[in-house]
Amino acid sequence: QSQELSQARVDYHAALLALQEQGTRMICSGKMHTDRICRFDYLCYCTEAEEFVFFHSNASVMLPNLGPRRFQPALLDLSSVEDHNTQYFNFMELPAAALKFMPKPVFVPDVTLILNRFNPDNLMHIFHDDILPIFYTMSQYSDFDNEVRLVFMEGWGEGPHFDLYRLLSSKQPLLKEQLRNFGKLLCFTKSYVGLSKMTTWYQYGFVQPQGAKANILVSGNEIRQFAAFIMGKLNITREESPENNEYLVVFSRSINRLILNEAELILALAQEFQMKAITVSLEEHSLAEIIRVISRASVLVSMHGAQLITSLFLPRGAAVVELFPYAVNPDHYTPYKTLASLPGMDLQYVAWKNTIEENSVAFPDRPWEQGGIAHLEVEEQERILKSTEVPRHLCCRNPEWLFRIYQDTKVDIPSLLEVMRQTLKSKPNPKKVRPTSAVHPGRVREPKCQTSVQATNEAKMTVSWQIPWNLKYLKVRDVKYEVWIQEQGENTYMPYILPHQNYTFSENIKPFTTYLVWVRCIFNKNLLGPFADVLILVT
């Protein structure tokens, strides 16, 4: 029985003794509640009170020991969404002596990862907020292996894609509501609480309008390794398909936000790219089938929507074409553009929006969560109907946004083909793309400087250096050097890009003046190295 926590594996008396004598021990990483993950021995959970419990004894450890700051606002974020006030984690405290008066603890022997899923009804949220962060949180700690027990505390049911969560571990993930089946007091022998936010690239607009995160820390490499892991679990191989077997995929939605002329669109796209065209939808295909098809596709075309998260399974060199309904500005909703544009993701991206109102079908009478606006004041309804663009807004219930995003669209084919021709630099071709190198130059070595005064108003400065140490092991197409020259005390500097390892500057160099000179190496135009130690010289 997967629901049983095999108590046979726990030496119950030893565990109880350890809990009573040692109490709970917690050591966390991270300075702030937003970047904290905590590791616990003997963290307990009271299913009646729905509270985690920290038992104090002489041997307890609580690091960080924040005192009441633990509640300002919380110890940590339980989901990967930053500082969301419905996703906070904390625990109550009790002396270990209180155990005598409490229900007998049931021990969870597995190494457990405790977290909140953010929105397990939505495929984009499932991948971006949950599965990717869980995958890399597990990679971070050596305690985790394929036997990890995942515990989801957000309180939702399994959701439509629970099988995806099952891929992360051989053990059945537990939902909050199931915990009470095990007993009144559950004690996790060894657990981690919280999720790494390192792999997320999008913020949903709780504090400022939605958009790419300010400081993205993930690259295409990590996304692809995650994709390979998921595909491996689904027995999908990215085997070389024979030549001339290229195809494009139209990912359609069948319930709402429809493409009204899908057949016509598919014909036009097949014609344009000279490729076979395949349609998939979550209503007609399993996610595993869809991932298999997308993992070998050259182009993925879809309305804006959660299904586009599957572009993380596209091969390098493929193109993502995202369609937006009337009055929705593509620049304001960029989760899939940001994904496609991650460094090393090597996907091309095109956004198209419907600018022809007559090609749009709206649903003012639907319930508000499907974009209905009938519940609004008449003037507000009229304003929305007249507006040609949804103004920037915060998450999540802006009626004008919902109204517009749930429109159906007849895609104007000439204008779509036009933006695709303009934007796609080359014909999307997964077979021809090589991964771009991400190796950065080291510091230039032995930077030197010589000066000479030519006349009272004329001076020269010769700067030279040696190549970075790692360059001799690399084949780099384009090696350049950047030199910054700053007159001491000024707050501007003169930058130069140079092809060789030395240069004599004479323009703008004044005699009897102190200069600061920085030198760094640049590979392939945008891979910047560090500056060498500053040179200080007097002409």
For ligand UDP, the binding residues (CB under 6 A) are: 121-124, 253-256, 282, 305-307
Cα-atom radius of gyration of the chain, to the nearest Å? 29
Of the two residues 282 and 318, which places its CB atom closer to ligand UDP in the complex?
282
Other Cβ atoms less than 10 A from the Cβ of 413: the count is: 16
Of the two residues 254 and 271, which places its CB atom closer to ligand UDP in the complex?
254
The Cα–Cα gap between 240 and 313 comes to 15
Please count the CA atoms within 13 angstroms of the CA of 86 that sit on its side-chain side. Answer: 6
Q: Looking up tokens 């590979």, which residue turns up?
A: 523
The Cα–Cα gap between 300 and 514 comes to 58
User: 89 φ, ψ to 5°?
Assistant: -115, 140
Of the two residues 119 and 298, which places its CB atom closer to ligand UDP in the complex?
119
Of the two residues 306 and 411, which places its CB atom closer to ligand UDP in the complex?
306
Coil, strand, or helix at residue 249?
strand
Residues 6+ apart with CB under 8 A from 175: 152, 155, 156, 157, 158
Minimum Å gap between C-beta 19 and ligand UDP is: 41
Minimum Å gap between C-beta 92 and ligand UDP is: 36
The Cα–Cα gap between 349 and 351 comes to 7
Of the two residues 133 and 335, which places its CB atom closer to ligand UDP in the complex?
335
Minimum Å gap between C-beta 247 and ligand UDP is: 21
The torsion region of residue 357 among left (phi > 0), alpha (psi -120 to 50) and beta comes to: alpha
User: 519 φ, ψ to 5°?
Assistant: -130, 135
Question: Which pair of tokens denotes residue 410?
Answer: 């007849």
Question: Which pair of tokens denotes residue 468?
Answer: 């970075």
Minimum Å gap between C-beta 225 and ligand UDP is: 24
Are the C-beta atoms of 508 and 459 separated by less than 8 Å?
A: no
Of the two residues 23 and 120, which places its CB atom closer to ligand UDP in the complex?
120
Minimum Å gap between C-beta 202 and ligand UDP is: 11
Of the two residues 151 and 282, which places its CB atom closer to ligand UDP in the complex?
282
Question: Which pair of tokens denotes residue 373?
Answer: 């606006």
Minimum Å gap between C-beta 256 and ligand UDP is: 5
Of the two residues 205 and 305, which places its CB atom closer to ligand UDP in the complex?
305
The Cα–Cα gap between 319 and 311 comes to 9
Question: Which pair of tokens denotes residue 168?
Answer: 């992360």
Dihedral sign computed on CA atoms, order 323, 326, 331, 333: negative
Minimum Å gap between C-beta 257 and ligand UDP is: 6
Of the two residues 20 and 281, which places its CB atom closer to ligand UDP in the complex?
281
Of the two residues 141 and 156, which places its CB atom closer to ligand UDP in the complex?
156
Minimum Å gap between C-beta 280 and ligand UDP is: 11
The Cα–Cα gap between 262 and 143 comes to 49
The Cα–Cα gap between 270 and 268 comes to 6
Q: What is the DSSP letter of 316?
A: T
Of the two residues 15 and 314, which places its CB atom closer to ligand UDP in the complex?
314
Minimum Å gap between C-beta 253 and ligand UDP is: 3
**Considering only CA atoms, which of 383, 394, 247, 396 is closest in space to residue 315?**
247
User: 308 φ, ψ to 5°?
Assistant: -70, -10
Of the two residues 122 and 199, which places its CB atom closer to ligand UDP in the complex?
122
Q: What is the DSSP letter of 241?
A: P
Minimum Å gap between C-beta 195 and ligand UDP is: 20
Q: Looking up tokens 């016509």, which residue turns up?
A: 264
Minimum Å gap between C-beta 167 and ligand UDP is: 17
- Furthest-apart CA atoms within the chain: distance in Å: 93
Minimum Å gap between C-beta 45 and ligand UDP is: 30
Q: Looking up tokens 């000439």, which residue turns up?
A: 414
Torsion from C-alpha of 121, 124, 125, 130, nearest 10 degrees: 110
The Cα–Cα gap between 310 and 220 comes to 14
Minimum Å gap between C-beta 251 and ligand UDP is: 9
Of the two residues 254 and 426, which places its CB atom closer to ligand UDP in the complex?
254
**Considering only CA atoms, which of 94, 266, 326 is closest in space to residue 187?**
94
